[in-house]
Chains A and B, each alone.
Chain A
């Protein structure tokens, strides 16, 4: 009897919803009619970080806020705004954190210099082998 009661309780339990009751924004999951606009929007959305599922792009994320950001990106692209302008509008609000595209800031210098350093180490290793 107790087991049945527990089973019924489990089956009738509702998940605690952390999402709103509104449907996704119009352009959240809809492609723009112009394929060139859609390609531009897609390229930008792949490089914008989701604020909720940090580590995913807004193109990949199922979070509602990511859907609203996709809507924002597509509407602005359709209105003729440049992707770089949309990116800098978001960076003004959230910092460079929001963009996956590496910048030339001093904090990113190791990133740019790493390939050069690795090449030099490789050349040094090869030289040692040839000499031997």
Chain B
């Protein structure tokens, strides 16, 4: 057996170890991106999530100007922090609608009272059906929709203060 062949298993082992270290150091992106970017919002018609707010249907999204659809829930902890950022966006004139996933009216009312209410409309999605039809895989997620009702951008996870310039740029592009 030649020397090179004898060291082949060791070289293979080192290669595997190097690959494992590389993947541990830079983990793969496990977020699932919606394939609906660039496509129209699927037709939906949600009932009101609570009595005090108008409900949301896909027709309410094609209004001539860009909007944000925020998928959230009162039981979602990161959503508490995100609402503050959404209120800042609303104060800058951004139109925001909400889809409340698996929520109860009384929980949602308490959530909005404590954290503020940046939403024009809120649709209740008690069995995540509209969330699934949008290709969303969790809360919170946000979609930028243009004036014709086309999905332009999906933001996975909460919109942090640092994401505001990105969101405003995406809204401008959707204008």
Contacts and interface: CB of A to CB of B under 8 A. Distances in A.
Interface string A69-93: 1011000000000000000001111
Contacts, number: 66
B95 to A, nearest CB: 24
Contact of A22 (B77, B104, B135, B137): B104
Interface residues of B, number: 26
A17 B75 contact: yes
A53 to B, nearest CB: 11
Given A19-B75, A68-B128, A71-B127, A93 B102 contact: no
Q: Which of A21, A52, A72 has the most CB of B within 10 A?
A: A21
Size category, A interface: 20 to 34
Q: Which of B76, B101, B128, B135 has the most CB of A within 10 A?
A: B128
B35 A92 contact: yes
B137 A94 contact: yes
Interface string B110-146: 0000000000000000111101111101100000000
A52 B102 contact: no
B45 to A, nearest CB: 17
A97 B75 contact: no
Nearest to A71: B127
Contacts of A98: 32
B135 A20 contact: no
A52 B147 CA distance: 32
A93 B133 contact: yes
Interface in A5-51: 16-22, 25, 51
A52 B137 contact: yes
A22 B102 CA distance: 6
The binding surface of chain B is classed by DSSP as loop
Given A20-B101, A21-B75, A54-B30, A68 B127 contact: yes
Contacts of B129: 68, 72
A93 B134 CA distance: 7
Nearest to A92: B35
Contact of A94 (B35, B75, B76, B102): B35
Given A20-B101, A20-B103, A68 B75 contact: no
B90 interface: no
B126 A93 contact: no
B154 to A, nearest CB: 11
Contacts of B35: 91-95
Interface string A45-67: 00000011010000000001100
Interface string B1-44: 00000000000000000000000000000101111100000000
Interface of A: 16-22, 25, 51-52, 54, 64-65, 68-69, 71-72, 90-95, 97-98
Give the top 3 A-B pairs by smallest Cβ distance, nearest first.
Answer: A93-B135, A20-B102, A51-B137
